[in-house]
Amino acid sequence: MHYLKDRGFTHAHAGDITPREVYEGRRVLLRNLAAGAAGVALAGWAGRDALAQVARPGKLAALPGARSAVAGALTMEKLTPYGDATSYNNFYEFGTDKSDPARAAGTLKPRPWTIAVEGEVKKPKVYDLDELLKLAPMEERIYRLRCVEGWSMVIPWVGYSLAELIKRVEPTGNAKYVEFVTLADKSQMPGLRSSVLDWPYVEGLRLDEAMHPLTLLTFGLYGEVLPNQNGAPVRTVVPWKYGFKSGKSIVKIRFVEKEPRTAWVKAASQEYGFFSNVNPAVDHPRWSQATERRIGEDGLFQKKRPTLMFNGYEAQVGQLYAGMDLKKNY
């Protein structure tokens, strides 16, 4: 196996981050709810409600979402601090260091914004951002995010199932895959001057993956609109796949018959597969996938967490890959 050379980018270690305080008020609330004779029976449900009502950081415009009823949509794990989730990012359009997006993404203009939905659909359309924001009720989904580099986060996203949009455009019988294209504007994205990837950034899903209710068309996090560095104004989040499969700052959604040539497959097909499902049994050539470091929980004696198959969403999505060789189809 031939390994991809660094090509000018370095993946920083999560241990370089200084952890921040994690929503102590929410934890106090859960303890109080659990107190008393009836608390034991109600604590689990009360905890889910509390987790779905994350305190806003007060940085950007509010974007509230109702607690999601989708199976698997609300993990009970501790949230990653907002400061870490918005300052430790992979968004190569703004640079290859983890701190580059937060530093450089101020040049991105998230309004006005449109997404063209085209290809093998009966009702192609160019959607304005405001139209998309009203297309379906907003939900809060608390998902694990697992990077192929061996680190993870827990983030409260705001959006709705991508299937809501897909149903409206009515894919034809030829639509087998969905391709997502990120904005590529050098005047807004200084990282495009680098040849680290073939721009624009393209990702893709099989149609049944895109239709799965956990696949989120995402407009916010922590109860507010998306920060630029996290893929504003609209992105996808596919929680059972490695983070690079979730396209950011999307300007085009295309329905196609053949498997899309995605950005990382084009850059290094020997390292990155089309499916890129989280799988602790299949290592990346440069990173073990058996364990992960949770951002915000770094410390001298902090142990890595064991990585879960499909990032912990096996019960919800495992049937999509029944009979597949997951080592071959990595």
Instruction: Select 14-321's CATH number: 3.30.1360.120, 3.30.450.40, 3.90.420.10, 3.40.50.720.
Output: 3.90.420.10
Q: Of 317, 175, 124, which Cα lies nearest the Cα of 239?
A: 317
pTM: 0.85
pLDDT at site 302: 83
Predicted confidence band of residue 314 (pLDDT cuts 50, 70, 90): very high
Distance CA 290, CA 267 (A): 24
pLDDT tens string 202-232: 999 999 999 999 999 999 999 999 999 999 9
Tokens at 61, concatenated: 């415009």
The domain segmentation of the chain, as residue ranges, is 14-321
- With 60 as the cut, is the pLDDT of residue 44 above it? no
- Provide the CA 117 distance to its chain's centre, in angstroms: 20
Give yes or no for residue 38 having a pLDDT over 90: no
Contact 122, 169 (CB under 8 A): yes
pLDDT at 329: 87
Q: Are 194 and 187 in contact (CB under 8 A)?
A: no
3-state secondary structure of 207: helix
Q: Is the pLDDT of residue 189 over 50?
A: yes
Q: According to DSSP H, which parts of 173-256 are helical? A: 207-211
Q: Distance (Å, rounded) from C-alpha 117 to C-alpha 169?
A: 8
- Range from 22-26, 54-58, 135-139, 249-253 carrying the lowest mean pLDDT: 22-26
Distance CA 121, CA 109 (A): 29
176/141 Cα distance (integer angstroms): 27
Omega of the bond leading into 171 within 30 degrees of 0 (cis): no
The predicted model gives 176-197 an average pLDDT of: 97
Q: What is the pLDDT of residue 23?
A: 34
CB 65 within 8 A of CB 138: yes
Q: What is the rounded CA–CA span in Å between residue 96 and residue 107?
A: 16
* Percent of residues, the chain, with pLDDT higher than 90: 80
Examine the pLDDT at 330 and tell me if it is beyond 80.
yes
Task: Write out pLDDT tens, residues 21-30.
Answer: 333 333 333 3
Average pLDDT, the chain: 87
pLDDT tier at 123 (50, 70, 90 boundaries)? very high
Evaluate whether 276 touches 244 at the Cβ level (below 8 Å). Answer: yes
